[in-house]
Amino acid sequence: MPSLKTLLNKIRKELKEKEKVREKAQKDMRKATRLSKQAILLIHQKRFGEAKKLIKKAKEIILRLNDASTKYPEIIYSGLFNAARQEYSEANIFLNLIQESRFITPEEINVPSVDYVLGLADVIGECRRLALDALREADVEKAEKCLQIMDEIYTELMGMDEAYMLVPGLRRKCDIARRIIETTRGDVTQEARRSALEKHLKRFEKMAKKRKISCEKSK
Listed by start position, the domains of the chain span: 1-106, 112-219
From first CA to last CA, the distance across the chain in angstroms is: 121
Confirm whether 1-106 and 112-219 share one CATH topology. yes
Query: Which CATH architecture is the domain 1-106 placed in?
Result: Up-down Bundle (1.20)
Alpha carbon distance 76, 69 (integer Å): 5
Decide if domain 112-219 falls under CATH 1.20.58.2140.
yes
CA separation (Å) from 144 to 18, 45, 99, 103, 138? 51, 20, 17, 18, 12
Check residue 209 and give its pLDDT: 59
pLDDT in tens, 69-121: 888 888 888 889 999 999 999 999 999 999 999 999 999 999 999 999 999 99
Sign of the C-alpha dihedral computed for residues 33, 34, 40 and 42 taken in this order: negative
- State the pTM of this model: 0.85
44-66 pLDDT tens trace: 999 999 999 999 999 999 999 99
Give how far Cα 161 sits from Cα of 23, 64, 120, 164, 192, Å. 38, 34, 16, 6, 34
How many angstroms separate the CA atoms of 68 and 35, rounded?
20
